[in-house]
Amino acid sequence: MTELDQIPIVARHRGVGIHDMQSAERIEVVKRAIDNVYDEHDWDRLIAIAGDVTWPPEARLFASAKLEAVFQIATDERRVRPPEIDLARIHASVPALDSQRWRDPWVFGSLLDPGRGPGQPGAVKREVPLV
């Protein structure tokens, strides 16, 4: 992804960029989700958040970054890497969440996100679809 393809950032919360094209109410939801990820230290829960399309893209990207940091710290310190953290799976959980080209115009997420499963809520619909 190039810098030109990255979704513009309109604000930051706890150092996490918040994407444009969202209402003030939606931005508050995103900030609360970022707070939840910030406070979360359970790797399995962070893995689940990264792949959960009902969470805001910014929070999913943050969960992915936290997991990658845990993995990298273990590598740098020559410790056993956490076997629960499969970086390929984590990266596959958040594909293109910050890409304008792959941004879903109808829901908050990526066109590469899995669709809604039977009986599942799916991604949050946008108030106004993107043009």
Tally Cβ neighbours within 10 Å of residue 13: 19
Give the start-to-end residue ranges of the domains of the chain: 42-113
Distance of alpha carbon 85 from alpha carbon 70, whole angstroms? 9
Distance of alpha carbon 29 from alpha carbon 20, whole angstroms? 14
Closest by alpha carbon to 56, among 85, 88, 28? 28
Tally Cβ neighbours within 10 Å of residue 76: 8
DSSP H or E stretch at residue 37: helix 24-39
pLDDT value of position 84 = 86
The pLDDT tens digits along the chain (131 residues) read 677 899 999 999 999 999 999 999 999 999 999 999 999 999 999 999 999 999 999 999 999 999 999 999 988 998 888 888 899 999 999 999 999 999 999 999 999 999 888 999 999 999 999 98
Q: Under a CB-based contact definition with an 8 Å cutoff, are residues 19 and 57 in contact? A: yes
pLDDT value of position 1 = 66
